[in-house]
Amino acid sequence: MKYKIRPAVVIIDVQNCFLSPGGSFDKLGYDISKYKKIVPVIQEVYQKAKSLKIPVFFSQALREKSGIDMIDKVHKILPETRRDRIEKLPICVSGSWDSEIIDVLQPKAEDYVVQKRRDSIFQDTEFEMWLKSFKIDTLIFIGIDTAVCVESSLRDGFNKGFDVILLSDATASLNDDFYQTTIKETKENFGLAIDSKKLFKNLKKISANRFLSEVN
């Protein structure tokens, strides 16, 4: 099918906490190799977006040192894996190296960084207002973790009326089954889940930030 779209690329949580040796996830014993593997693809998507002058938004997960915004301050019922992670090590603390976006994907001056305290980039942030100011109607999601923050953001985007595209080769999950489930759910219930090469091969610029997409 052919779609006329005004897209933005949304890069979720490419931070030292999750992707860098010595980051919180590495210290907690998680295998971050799956995350690191997609970094070159994310770089390619970013450069392609810049060349086409597609707006780029980064999300940055943050937590305060005081713990005032920690999820266990709100929820009594939490999965043990999540509670255990919270209790072992504070992650993405505001102002720390851990919370910074990785060096090889540093936002440019014209990019936008959305600081978030929860899984979704939409939750209690200015993101939706910024999208409306650009008249964006389609969100291209990449980043980590596929089944947590990426999926939460994608679902919220869909339910707020945006068309959503998930680039399957530019997102990763620690759990392969969870990754596959998100891909299937996106295809069946929300939008498109395709690889980045297919998307950009079939994306034709019509005018400033207006594109014709021929993907399905």
Residues 98, 119, 145, 149: which is the catalytic one?
149
Residue pair 133/209 in contact (Cβ under 8 Å)? The answer is no
- What distances in angstroms separate CA 68 from CA 65, 72, 73, 93, one per listed residue? 8, 10, 7, 12
Active site residue 92: no
Active site residue 116: yes
Q: Which residues contact 140 (CB under 8 A, 6 or more apart)?
A: 7, 8, 9, 10, 45, 49, 54, 165, 167, 199
**H helices of 89-166, where?**
127-134, 151-159
Residue pair 192/216 in contact (Cβ under 8 Å)? The answer is yes
Residues 13, 98, 145, 169: which is the catalytic one?
13
Residues 116, 145, 156, 169: which is the catalytic one?
116
Active site residue 201: no
CA angle (41 as vertex; 192, 177 as ends), nearest 5 = 55
- According to DSSP, the residues that pair with 116 across neighbouring strands are 61
Half-sphere exposure of 171 (CA within 13 A, CB side): 35
Residues annotated as part of the active site: 13, 116, 149
